[in-house]
Structure 1
């Protein structure tokens, strides 16, 4: 499944705030870059957290942050101005357009214009038929939190209905086709075990399916490891020795039981996600003590294992 997902030209990663969506977006890009593809991460957060992580300034154009890996901030206004530079002849005329009060008012007041231009930028960089810029191997869009992401993904259909056969309407139609082209575009949801994340993931999955944008997979992030069981806890509490205090053992046993409960809850949550979405779930374990680039690299290693294991999994399924 991961090989099929990475074969797309555009991946849109979304999830509830705080589930590790940006880190997963960067890790996916790293996996693609390591295997020889040229990857571009487009982050939608104006605060540019990934730019800070990679130690570069916010940029509305792609800048290289690692081997085969570029990064940029996706901004509706910047995308609109880039588009106008392509279609408005003459630098002086373009400067006058940008400086005009009508243009400033239009950018602020036009409903959904920024969202449409953001997706238009993705469409352009992915290699639209009339694009002058070269197509990239893979674009990963680090989308806003789920609620905002849904508004973003619904915008092309709404704009097509509003603007009809105008230039804007036709562009919206092209963007909508890109989003629904499962050979070239895939949506990936990210969740963790907490109940709010699980509920939002299931609800968002249903909303996406209802507009024919069903996600290709769910990444279950920060899965707690199963390193011991109830038998191990029982053996711990029954230990004896001159320097072992029963009170200490009981305290450790309670901590271990709490961890077992957390693991069991995570397994139930994963099962619920699989049942409710009907799609594949990729599990990424916790990486305690890691952050920044080290965390991205560690998660990329976990994702790469999914890619390496796929031939064996397919063979086992055939048997």
Structure 2
């Protein structure tokens, strides 16, 4: 009888172990902790540009926070819309995210016929930086102030060249508004990003740019290019010698170039929360704050770094800029 009881117990234990074993084998597929794989951070422009610079500053620190690898991948072209389509179609598991800005996640929706929606097809993760533009020119340009630059443009109608990161980008839109406000005329030269455009400006191959401060400041400080004005009502702490557009004689030409991080639509809320927490922690680091400040970038307050805050800000910017862009009839070149 004892022998039979032991045999029966052994049978139950075998069945129990089999069930537990199967459960242990199945569970990881359903509840693997995030991140279980490397994260790809898509940059919608060429390497070396302002958006790429911010992405690379953040990526290493985000990787440390999440204890994973973050790979920065540059997917340039069509003013950032090729990258936008790539991320919009990506599996919404948090392993593909993108950095974007006023151009990629507001202006593109008003200018291009896109295979995705700049608002509806993404999950906002965090606002990371608020920046501005500089109006800059090649070192040899025959002007040393914004008024002189405008006079030079009027004296050479249709001949001057302005580099942009592509049709419909912030640099292009800013240039269109500058033309309208000053009565000047010049040609736009599109590049695959602000980085390549800046290379040609430094080399004297193009004349001017309406460029993100983070891209221009190092070259302004080195004396490689001239800065005529900053497109904000206050001077940059990192470039106090550069006048505002109001001071330089072109009042009201304000353009804010903000950056954020997005994931594909339907990325689980807990993953978005974890990504946001890592980014917020990185933005609080003194070294990151210092580096951003050097590039003319202001880190938003913690209350503005939430996914909800980025969603609300993007919505407000869309409502502000879409009517302006459409009224100006800005088209892809």
TM-score (norm. length: structure 1) = 0.28
Choose 1 or 2 for highest CA Rg: 2
**Bigger fraction of residues in helix:** 1
TM-score (norm. length: structure 2) = 0.27
